[in-house]
Amino acid sequence: MTPEAPARPLVSLRDLGVELGGRPILRGVTANVARGSITALIGLNGSGKTTLLRALVNEYPHKGTIQFHCGHDHTKPYPEAIGYVPQRLTLDARLPLTVADFLALTLSRRPLFFGISKATTAKSQSMLERVGVAECMNVPVEGLSGGQLQRVLLALALEPRPELLLLDEPAAGIDFNGLKKFYELIASINKELGVTVLLVSHDLNMVQTYAHDVLCLRGGSIQCQGPPSEILTPINMSLVFGTEIHMFPHRFGT
């Protein structure tokens, strides 16, 4: 039997450096995001995870190279074929908009005061169904729970279908029981739609269960990268987090 060829990377980072406020935040980051995989980006608060995602969507200027091997143009301010769910919403979630309005603002080119077309409503409905929050269509954005808001943002990030989905702590507002469902949704988006996922997470048990590859940042540099079984060891985790960590898998009820 011939050994399997290693998966071709969808993104390769070579000697990536980002400076913010005159301070080096990322230094010499060389890593690959494997095509078709779920790659988890882990590290302490302030280690540069969000900065790395924002460099990928051209929000921060960088040194070194970010190469996408998918034939799309990634030099534009917001590159096509990338879906991004940020760690924080920079727009005010208290906007007096329903979820239907919020989606229509992105989907439709006509001003909202003309009303939402039937086609846009149907599209929004199917986008919300895909991520399991169809019932939120007419809920004001400010009335969404943290977990519902994350799913609505995920619905937006999936339209049009991206090659690469960047998720910055997507499960931060989700309760323990919702966590498994959320990660299963991500896994099905990865498997069924063939979307490559790069996600930031502090939940090492979820990373162990759902990620194919783990990228560890420490102080803006890559500490280690590889499959969870090789990376999530007590020794590696003490190097990444500076403290001893033992993994106790979640036991979910059925």
Ligand X SMILES: Nc1ncnc2c1ncn2[C@@H]1O[C@H](COP(=O)(O)OP(=O)(O)OP(=O)(O)O)[C@@H](O)[C@H]1O
**Residue 253 in contact with ligand X, rule: CB under 6 A:** no
Q: How far is CA 168 from CA 112, 165, 197, in A?
A: 29, 10, 11
Burial 182-191 (b: 16+ CB within 10 A, else e): bbebbeebbe
**Residue 20 in contact with ligand X, rule: CB under 6 A:** yes
**Residue 48 in contact with ligand X, rule: CB under 6 A:** yes
**CA 202/CA 185 separation, integer angstroms:** 18
**CA 79/CA 77 separation, integer angstroms:** 6
Q: Return the one option of ligand X, Mg ion, none that residue 51 interacts with (CB less than 5 to 8 A, by type).
A: ligand X
**Residue 190 in contact with Mg ion, rule: CB under 5 A:** no
Q: Return the one option of Mg ion, ligand X, none that residue 61 interacts with (CB less than 5 to 8 A, by type).
A: none
Site for Mg ion in 42-81 (CB under 5 A): 49-50
**Residue 242 in contact with ligand X, rule: CB under 6 A:** no
- Looking at the Cβ atoms of 116 and 204, the one nearer to ligand X is 204
CA dihedral of 54, 57, 61, 66, whole degrees rounded to 10: 110
- Looking at the Cβ atoms of 24 and 178, the one nearer to ligand X is 24
Write the interaction track for Mg ion spanning residues 85-114; mark x where CB under 5 A is met and - where it is not: --x---------------------------
**One of 32, 51, 124, 223 touching ligand X (CB under 6 A):** 51
The region of 18-26, 149-157, 177-185, 246-254 touching ligand X under the rule CB under 6 A is: 18-26
C-alpha 159: how far from its chain's center?
14
**CA 199/CA 180 separation, integer angstroms:** 15
The DSSP-derived string for 144-190 is S-HHHHHHHHHHHHTSSPPSEEEEESTTTT--HHHHHHHHHHHHHHH
Question: Cβ of residue 40: shortest distance to Mg ion, in angstroms?
Answer: 13
**Residue 221 in contact with Mg ion, rule: CB under 5 A:** no
Residues that bind ligand X (CB under 6 A): 20-21, 25, 43, 45-51, 87
